Amino acid sequence: MLSAMIPESAPRHLTDLDQSTQTFARVGSRARLWSTGMALFFFHTETDHRVTDTEGTEFPSYIEARAEGIRTAGQMMQDVPEIFWGSRPWSVSVTNADGLIMWEIHLDGQTSPAGRSLEPAST
């Protein structure tokens, strides 16, 4: 089970896995600035399926939110590398309180002919 590989302390958008498609999922609501002064950001993921974050995560600055987007992309590849290779491109989109896309990360792994020669022949 993939979710068993992710520590309990991981942010929610890394812990909610859609087991049927092996894609990352999050739920939440429209971004907004809380009275604490922390901004709410949303991490939307796309693998073979798009998952819209409707809950969001608060961060004290855009620097931390942007870093979390990078960690999210890295964790996705680390947790299911066998699915990454040979699938359609993956992406992580980070939106702000107004739903505006702040940053996007696109991941596309390509196997060269030399790399394909290392794979077992299909029968």
Measured in whole angstroms, the distance separating CA 82 from the mean position of its chain's CA atoms is 16
Where is pLDDT greater, at 4 or 46? 46
Alpha-carbon span 24 to 76, nearest angstrom: 7
Q: What is the pLDDT of residue 96?
A: 93
77-115 pLDDT, tens digit per residue, is 898 888 888 788 999 999 998 999 999 999 998 888 998
Residue 33 binned pLDDT confidence (cut-offs 50, 70, 90): very low
Residue 119 pLDDT exceeds 90: no
Q: What is the pTM of this model?
A: 0.66
Partners of residue 92 on adjacent β-strands: 45, 105
